[in-house]
Structure 1
């Protein structure tokens, strides 16, 4: 399996998604094409399996002992993953989702994995008594991943440690707003 996933990632990096073929993966991995088709009926299915494997290998859910620490570690890992290597390739593949329903399902699956990571983190925080109120894990996942995606995928600007800390702190504490109308007009 590792040879197959390595071949997919290598071909994605050299040929892009459009140039990736099952036949090319078979040649590069040394695995018979019919065997590949038996396991994965289509190119998107093979690519999805490769990214599932890569995310499981490269993005373990952190356990630092605190909600804030876990979220900072998770955001840092996601930014690093999307900024380079297999994660960068995943982001490039997901750019094709509009044209391919199978890739749109892959995007949903990858976002679902991200939400599952956040749910695991918040579940541990609840078990520690650190988080007591209701939390919409999907919304929290979106609030954290949105800026990471924008910076690492769209603008290709890395997130610094201070950016990551500020992102997590803002999401956890919200913004402080004044209700004093005089203070608002002083700006």
Structure 2
């Protein structure tokens, strides 16, 4: 049998997996992470509780698998032909993702990462995906000649997306489009840019 935590995340799982994941998202919306229980998911999904425990031995593993299933598709990485426009679009899309739907629920759940290793791994996966998107944007900028020196992609991703996660998980303050513009322009001021590439 496939490892429990990865089963439904990889597209496999018990019969009724779609109903199980839908039930988890519904209960997170109405009850929050603290109020969600395996028993409640079993009732909502009409799947036997023993089946849930066979595939996911704990609430965190079930919730993590649900998010891996719900947000399995990568968010599109913007390709506007401009480093600044790509970064602004990326920040806006991440803020929108974490502000609505499964992304918002994931942000709520990830506030509990300190209490569980499975949720911490989920957070690492999501952050790793976001960092890969930043690296793709900077790679294109190097090819276009917009970046004239070395850039630490991981550090740039931290600086760029850290405020997005802070707003989504900690302060719960929306990141406006003007905030996204100002954030990118502030960071661009510290990058080795070609003369015509700076903030506009």
TM-score above 0.5:
yes
When normalised by structure 1's length, the TM-score is: 0.77
Alignment partner of 2:166 out of 108, 125, 150: 150
Query: Which residue in the other structure is 1:79 paired with?
Result: 95
Correspondence 1:1-187 to 2 at 5 A: 1-57=17-73, 59-174=75-190
Counterparts of 1:13 and 1:35 in 2: how far apart (Å)? Answer: 23
C-alpha RMSD of the superposition:
2.5
Kept in 2, the 8 Å contact 1:97–1:103? The answer is: yes
Residue in structure 2 matched with residue 181 of structure 1 by the alignment: none
Could you say if the C-alpha distance between residues 121 and 50 of structure 1 is closer, same or farther in structure 2, counting changes exceeding 3 Å? Answer: farther
Q: C-alpha distance in 2, partners of 1:72/1:37?
A: 43
CA displacement at 1:58 relative to structure 2: 7.2
- After TM superposition, the structure 1 stretch with the greater mean CA deviation from structure 2, 89-98 or 58-67, is 58-67
Secondary structure at the aligned position of 1:96 is classed as helix
- For normalisation by structure 2, the TM-score amounts to 0.73
Deviations 1:61-110 (A, max 9, x none): 22223222221111111112222332222122111122222222222222
Cα–Cα, structure 1 residues 150 and 34, in superposed 2: closer, same or farther, change >3 Å? same
Preserved CA contact (<8 Å) 1:79 1:148: yes
Q: 1:46 & 1:153 partners in 2: Cα distance?
A: 20
Measure the CA separation in 2 of the matches of 1:126 and 1:4.
Answer: 44
CA deviation map 1:126-157 (0-9, x unaligned): 33343342221211111012222233433322
Call closer, same or farther: CA 1:128–1:97 in 2, change over 3 Å.
Answer: same
Bigger mean CA deviation after superposition, 19-28 or 165-174: 19-28
> For each residue in 1:137-178, what CA deviation from the matched residue of structure 2 results, as whole angstroms up to 9, or x when unmatched?
211111012222233433322222111111011111239xxx
Alignment partners' CA distance in 2, 1:53 and 1:73: 25
Report if the CA contact (8 A) 1:7-1:28 is conserved: yes
SS at match of 2:27: helix
User: Number of matched residues?
Assistant: 175
